[in-house]
Amino acid sequence: MVTHSQSARTEPAGPPGSSSSSGVSERARPGIAQRLVGFTERAWRPIALLVVLFLAWWAVTAAELIEPYLVPSPGDTFDAIASRPDYFWEHTWATTYETLLGFVIAAAVGVFAAVVMVQSATVEKTLYPLLLFAQVIPKIAIAPLFVVWLGFGIGPKIVVAVLMAFFPVVISMVTGLKSVDPEMLQLSATMGAKPGQTFWKIRFPASLPHLFSGLKVAATMAVTGAVVGEFVGADAGLGFVILQANGNLDTPVLFAGLLIMSLLGVLLFVLVEWLEHLVLPWHASRRTEGVTTTL
Pick the last residue of a domain from 65, 83, 110: 65
This prediction has a pTM of: 0.81
**Who contacts 184 (Cβ-Cβ below 8 Å, separation ≥6)?**
202, 206
Residues 37 and 151 in one domain: no
Q: Which residues on adjacent β-strands are paired with residue 293? A: 24
Say which CATH number the domain at 256 has: 1.10.3720.10
In a domain, 25, yes or no: no
In a domain, 98, yes or no: yes
In a domain, 10, yes or no: no
String of DSSP letters for 213-226: HHHHHHHHHHHHHH
- Which tens digits make up the pLDDT trace of 187-233? 787 887 787 788 888 888 889 999 999 999 999 999 999 999 998 88
In a domain, 288, yes or no: no
Residues 136 and 247 in one domain: yes
**Who contacts 68 (Cβ-Cβ below 8 Å, separation ≥6)?**
61, 76, 251
Residues 61 and 78 in one domain: no
Residue with the larger pLDDT of the pair 6 and 102: 102
Q: What is the separation, in whole angstroms, between the first and last Cα of the chain?
A: 35
Number of domains in the chain: 2
Single-letter residue type at 58: W
Core vs surface per residue 54-87: b (16+ CB within 10 A) or e: eeebeeebeeeeeeeeeebbbebbeebbeeeeee
Residues 53 and 114 in one domain: no
In a domain, 18, yes or no: no
Residues 94 and 230 in one domain: yes
pLDDT of residue 27: 52
Residues 55 and 190 in one domain: no
Mean pLDDT of 51-75: 87
Per DSSP, the three-state class of 145 is helix
Q: Note down the domain range covering 224.
A: 74-281
